Amino acid sequence: MSFQTTEERLMDSPKRTESTDIHSDSQKVKKELNSFFLGVHQSSKVTRKYIDTKTHGIQLYYQEFTPQFIDAQVIIVHGFGEHSGNYNQLTDCFLLNNFKVHLYDQRGFGFSGGIRSKATIEEMHMDLETILDQVDKSIPLFIFCHALGAAIVISFCLMNPQFEIQGLICSSAQFRVPPRYGRIKMITLQMMAKVCPDLQLNTYHNLSYASKNNHHIRKLAIDPLISPFMSIQFALNVLQFSQYILPNASQFKIPILILHGKQDKISSHLDSVDFYMQIQSQEKTMKIFEQGFHEMHNDSEWPKMKTVISQWCQKMINKDIKMNYLREYNRGVIVQQYRSKIRLLISILLIVIRRKLSCLKTSTKISLIIFMELLLRLFTPQ
């Protein structure tokens, strides 16, 4: 694994101006450090290894950072197309607050095994369960999740309502499919997922949407582990998340901190507002950053974001919140399908006019049935 020098680490940090002075947290540690400085990581116990999943032959790349004194612990769940190495500043922040940090590359991303960007929701929930097996059950647990990682964690919590932790921190959560894709494309996606789920598509992800920091954008552009490709199966996951999370948001009760940028062009802050208004958590906080882009932890919003996270976590640690882990977890999501009554009516209609259809060619019949199925999906709410 390559190490960065102090100068390279500073170049990778967000721009430093008088109004947004972002000094690395590592500068608060001892000054007499060698040239291979990696922030607070160096003064903590570090474990890097591959751990087996519940899927035979697939391993996850896992990192564990343990400070000298432990007040709590946090699992960091990254978003689509990236990896855990994109969260160095966040890791430093948690370590300085005496948090034990657990990071992992999700299946199909970073250094972890699996076909690139092809994991199902069940498999991603299974991998989160594998990471939960690594934590110390006696220490307060937080989960920090970003973008699509937030959808994975929140759907996992909704599917397991008895699962309780100290708190959940969501950054730039993605709850809906962007409306620009339209309903026709979504229907086509569902049909293609049954035929060619492995097909990889280029999302044409615009890196400039991630951050206002040019140094960070350049870092993303040259990072070989950053991939814009998404399989049909993974795209279907995004669609299913949008059909499941917000309709069931009222069942969410875990303490939560929601962070989102108003200028985020990848996931809308309005979806986070919608989710915040519906959830039933007794402890819920939301912070909207007026100039925030998608990766605020790698941008000029980081100093304020760091303060908000630290204060909120300390507040939650001081509260008497009973954590509850389960022996067995539910995986996947249950999406309500379109109305069966309308499908029944159309089936009856087809039976009534079967005599008129009998004179048609087989190919014409199949085309007519597919057309009626598309109409059914178009005009029936999900």
Please write the tens of the pLDDT for every residue from 90-105. Answer: 999 999 999 999 999 9
pLDDT digits (tens, 9 = 90+) for 133-185: 999 999 999 999 999 999 999 999 999 999 999 999 999 999 988 766 767 77
Nearest 5°: the CA angle 326, 313, 33 is 110
- Binned at pLDDT 50, 70 and 90, residue 189 comes out as confident
Query: Are 350 and 306 in a shared domain?
Result: no
Cβ neighbours around 98 below 10 Å, total: 14
Query: 359 and 254 in one domain?
Result: no
- For 321-342, the pLDDT digits (tens) are 889 999 899 998 887 654 455 5
Does residue 271 sit in the same domain as residue 371? no
Tens of pLDDT, residues 208-225? 999 999 999 999 999 999
Q: pLDDT (tens digit, 9 = 90+) per residue, 19-63?
A: 333 344 444 433 333 333 345 555 678 999 999 998 888 999 999
Say what the pLDDT of residue 198 is: 87
Asked, for residue 293, whether it belongs to a domain, the answer is: yes
What length is written for the chain? 382
Residue 90 belongs to some domain of the structure: yes
Q: Are residues 240 and 373 in the same domain?
A: no
Say yes or no: 264 and 372 in one domain.
Answer: no
Of 186, 190, 54, 201, the C-alpha closest to 117 is 201
Report residue 236: phi and psi, to 5°.
Answer: -65, -35
| 353 neighbors 345 (Cβ within 8 angstroms) | no
Q: Residue 101 in contact with residue 65, Cβ under 8 Å?
A: yes
The pair of structure tokens assigned to 143 is: 């989960």
- Number of structural domains found in the chain: 2
Note whether 346 and 309 are same-domain residues. Answer: no
What does the pLDDT read at residue 3?
Answer: 42
Is 324 part of a structural domain of the chain?
A: no
At residue 368 the predicted structure's pLDDT band, cuts being 50, 70 and 90, is: low
Q: Are the C-beta atoms of 141 and 73 separated by less than 8 Å?
A: yes
121: pLDDT strictly greater than 50? yes
Which CATH number fits the domain that encloses residue 262? 3.40.50.1820
Confirm whether 82 is domain-assigned.
yes
Order of strands across the sheet that contains 99-104: 45-52, 59-66, 99-104, 72-77, 141-146, 167-171, 256-261, 284-289
Whether residue 349 lies inside any domain: the answer is yes
Task: Tell me, yes or no, whether 194 lies in a domain.
Answer: yes
Q: Which residues pair with 102 in a beta bridge?
A: 64, 75
Residue 129 lies in a domain: yes
**Tell me, what's the pLDDT at 15?**
43
Domain check: are 219 and 295 in the same one?
yes
Same domain, 358 and 270: no
Domain residue limits at 262: 6-318
What does the pLDDT look like over 248-280, one tens digit per residue? Answer: 999 999 999 999 999 999 999 999 999 999 999
Q: Would you say residue 200 has pLDDT above 80? A: yes
Whole-angstrom distance, CA of residue 151 vs CA of residue 185? 21
Specify whether 372 is located in the same domain as 241: no
CA 52, CA 83: separation in Å to the nearest integer? 18
Q: Judge whether 323 lies within some domain.
A: no
Rounded CA-CA distance 281/107 in Å is: 30
